[in-house]
Amino acid sequence: MAEKIDIALAGNPNCGKTTLFNELTGSNGYVGNWPGVTVEKKEAVWKKDADVLFTDLPGIYSLSPYSPEEVVSRDFIISGRPSAIIDLVDVTNIERNLYLTTQILETGRPVVVGLNMCDLLEQRGEKIDSKRLSKMLGVPVVEVSALRSKNLDALVGTAVDSGRANKVAQGVKCFSPEVEDALQTIANTITGSCAPDLLRWYSIKVFERDSAAIEPLNLSKQQLEDMEKVIEAIERDRDDDSESIITSERYEWIATVMDACVVKAPGKLTVSEKIDRVVTNRVLGLPIFIAIMIGVYWVALVAVGTPATDWVNDQLFSDGFFVSSSGQAAFEEADEAWQDAHYTDQISGYIAAAEEAGVDTDGVQDAIDADPQTADDEATITEFEDAAEKAGVVATDVPVTDADGNYLDTEGNVITTLDEDGNPVLAEGQELDVLPTVTAADFATAVDSPEPDQHDYDGFVDSIPNAVTGWLTDAGTSNVVISLVVDGIIGGVGSVLGFIPQIFVLFVMLCFLEDCGYMSRVAFVMDRVFRRFGLSGKSFIPMIVSSGCGVPGVLATKTIENEHDRRMTAMLTTMIPCSAKLPIIALVMGVLAGGSSMWWVAPMFYLMGIAAIIISAVMLKKTKRFAGEPVPFVMELPDYHMPSIKSWALHVWERVAAYVKKAGTIIFAAAVGIWVLSNFGLAGWEGGDGSFGFLQAMDGAPETYMDYSILAGIGGALSFIFMPLGFGNWQATASTISALIAKENLVSTFGVLYGLGDATENSVSMWQGFANMFTIAGTLHVGAMCAFVAFNMLCAPCFAAMGTIRRQMDDPKWFWFAIGFECGFGWVVGLLINQLYELFVFGNFGFWTVVAFVLLALMLFQLFRPMPKWDEKDEHILDNLAEEPVA
């Protein structure tokens, strides 16, 4: 049986280590262009040999315990003692990478150095002498390309051979003679306290006074005093502290290696450097980033994503679709001819006119719509026609609608605004398209000319709701189960899945920006911005990750060394709109102006999230709880490159799959729960007997039966919280509460409550149902709607992200403070939006207007007051907090 070999993959952030891990193991670990993508070690076996186990360690710059990921890496190498270490070096940033290499060579393990990205070095016109470098380092050096899978077998084979032969790296003599003498003296003192192959490692750690590293040695007080004299003597001679001496001499030695092994290109700018002069420019960098994000959202939500989403909503979850072009053409021709004759409008308009004339219209529309029609249906229609003709009914000014039931103006445009009764509201100069008259003969012709049925044409595939309804009906399933499956599950989950095309397009572009190297520049640009407000560029990285999902975004805060900054970033990062919030934004776009003309709404909410983070950071930094200078931000800027199709695809799939998984689990369960709560309750309407049960099946149930449901009771009881924000009805409250489980639930809950799971994206009914929650006296209250969206964007995230925040905070008081701040901040922003809109648009002034101005004044005071100078002896505001642990 072959000997098991475990190989650690170590290297700087963004050196290609996780790409290498994925290529070797077939895994799909997250690949990004910034530090902290891997915050904990990951393990997988080599896909070519199950006896070789790889451990992907977090990307680090050194083995000093300055950050959580450095602690993870160092503990694994020193305590775990892997069979061998592959140190992956980014040759485009070789000087900084070799600093970590010199430390790894001192850990007493077999080491193989992999020179990654040599192809990019060649593009610069530079060369590296790998043979000479191997001789100077004293270990094998292999040129590879992790992105293009070049020479990877040779790298692994060399590491396996070194591990099995236990060819321990001896380290390099990179220090001056006097420092080397001091290290030898220390080594003699601690001999016997550690393994022989770790003697040089511990000697250097003692010289650096690294207490965490030398603690396991259990040195005596006399030993420590003797070694301290040696260290102090060097420090007096150099006039510097011991750690700085080690660092500077490492870099001096690395400089000699660079001179000997690297041939630099003539002093001309590379393509990446030329691009960076523009995109990282102090003046242009931020506007360029904003312009790119606006472009990304415009393409995802309007240009490409919307047509794809329309198809899913219109065909897959509404009407069905054709797989035969000839069948589709035949149907469209017949349907167009039918629509041109205004048959639907003639029928509805004539029935309405007959009702006004006192003719009994009960059951007429149902009889016409029945398929197939029974003898009773035909008798009902004939009886109505005779009565209407005898009464001399003639309908006048009948509104014309399209196939989706949307009212049209004389130009053929959809009228997107309806009043609370569902009647069209015309804009200035807009005229409603009408049929002048509809006679009894017109009505009879329309009735005798049924609407073309798609099922009668070749190649038609029914939509999911229609197909499932048919299957369940044929199986004799009860109406309760049919409603649960079609209205609850398919209506709720389907309303979320319909947005997958937009989310897919968004992530294709965002992942490209990450993988090509641009997003790391954004972190650099935002570091200059964030530093002005008390945060560093490291805080922006989790926010970029959170644009996909808040859970990995919060996890990425582990890379922030300062505990206060880390907690503040974990608390604020989920204010960035994630994929789960995208359906909410798209819905608002549709309500405001039919969608496409309001393309700027999406980037506006994205920028609102960044603004909310900055404002919150400024206010929090001026409290004792979060006071202090932001941590320095050091990050390599990789050369721009075309991403590997495989890694790019895996990156996109990871994010989209997470969205789909949530739809199939959390949202599925929530949709069922919302359906139960909204369909069961007490028959409390006029004439109802007050019994409990399935509301829509009870005798005399009105169309508004959900108003008597359990969910209506819960939403109504809590609606007072949101009344100052303008959305104090139970439907809006229920949607907001369900959004705390998963943000996507807001749209799915809305779909269940209004029975719009099968409404098309082009149908005004979807937008109108949402707008009705914010319509007062026939006027859309834009302030209340924007307040609703702002609160749900900025308040506490989904349960999964909350759980991650709880683990990151590592203390219940900090966790509840974080959730309370997010909800409170979102509520205040919503209050300000609604009350200011009420004041300036409607002229309303009241108690909550005063409250809004008081809160605004307090926020402005906290924002612009000078930074307080706290007494270091002052106690922490949160009494009895546990000692802050290292994450």
> For 465-509, what is each residue's pLDDT tens digit?
888 888 888 888 887 888 788 777 776 677 667 667 877 887 788
Domain end residue (candidates: 165, 199, 227)? 165
Do 122 and 189 fall within a single domain? no
- Predicted structure pTM score: 0.57
Mean pLDDT value across residues 160-176: 87
Domain end residue (candidates: 429, 456, 483)? 456
Q: What is the DSSP letter of 432?
A: B
Order of strands, sheet of 141-144, starting from the edge strand that comes earlier in the sequence: 42-46, 49-56, 5-11, 84-90, 111-116, 141-144
Share of the chain above pLDDT 70, in %: 80
Domain end residue (candidates: 394, 423, 456)? 456
pLDDT above 70 (res 861): yes
**Per-residue confidence (pLDDT) for residue 596, from 0 to 100:** 47
Mean pLDDT value across residues 537-559: 69
**Per-residue confidence (pLDDT) for residue 635, from 0 to 100:** 60
| Residue 337 identity (one-letter amino acid) | A
* Structural domain range at position 189: 177-263
The domain that contains 214 carries what CATH number?
Answer: 1.10.287.1770
**Per-residue confidence (pLDDT) for residue 406, from 0 to 100:** 80
Do 543 and 667 fall within a single domain? yes
**Per-residue confidence (pLDDT) for residue 602, from 0 to 100:** 63
Highest-pLDDT range among 8-17, 97-106, 337-346, 616-625: 97-106
Do 832 and 759 fall within a single domain? yes
Map tokens 């006296």 to a residue.
777
Do 150 and 198 fall within a single domain? no
**Per-residue confidence (pLDDT) for residue 871, from 0 to 100:** 52
Report if residue 653 sits inside a domain: yes
Do 221 and 253 fall within a single domain? yes
Q: Which is more confident, 299 or 541? A: 299
Q: Is the peptide bond before 372 cis (omega within 30 degrees of 0)?
A: yes
Mean pLDDT value across residues 28-54: 66
Do 223 and 330 fall within a single domain? no
Do 705 and 557 fall within a single domain? yes
Average pLDDT, the chain: 79
Separation CA 576–CA 605 (nearest Å): 9
Separation CA 451–CA 445 (nearest Å): 12
pLDDT digits (tens, 9 = 90+) for 746-794: 766 665 565 554 443 334 454 566 666 666 655 667 788 888 888 888 8
pLDDT digits (tens, 9 = 90+) for 219-245: 888 888 888 888 888 888 888 888 888
Separation CA 331–CA 329 (nearest Å): 5
Do 346 and 440 fall within a single domain? yes
Q: What's the domain count of the chain?
A: 4
User: Residue 209 in contact with residue 243, Cβ under 8 Å?
Assistant: yes
Please give the sequence-ordered ranges of beta strands (E in DSSP) within 189-292, or none if there are none.
262-263
pLDDT above 80 (res 817): yes
Do 136 and 221 fall within a single domain? no
Do 831 and 696 fall within a single domain? yes
pLDDT digits (tens, 9 = 90+) for 252-268: 999 898 888 888 766 66
Do 797 and 689 fall within a single domain? yes
Element (H, E) at 86: strand 84-90
pLDDT digits (tens, 9 = 90+) for 122-150: 777 778 888 999 999 999 999 988 877 88
**Per-residue confidence (pLDDT) for residue 86, from 0 to 100:** 92
**Per-residue confidence (pLDDT) for residue 586, from 0 to 100:** 66
Do 329 and 448 fall within a single domain? yes
Contacts by 518-522, CB closer than 8 A, 24 or more apart: 518/279, 518/292, 518/640, 519/32, 519/33, 519/34, 519/544, 520/14, 520/33, 520/34, 520/635, 520/636, 520/637, 520/638, 521/276, 521/279, 521/280, 521/285, 521/637, 522/289
Please give the sequence-ordered ranges of beta strands (E in DSSP) within 423-518, or none if there are none.
434-438, 460-461
The domain that contains 102 carries what CATH number?
Answer: 3.40.50.300
Mean pLDDT value across residues 350-365: 90
pLDDT digits (tens, 9 = 90+) for 320-329: 888 888 888 9
**Per-residue confidence (pLDDT) for residue 874, from 0 to 100:** 41
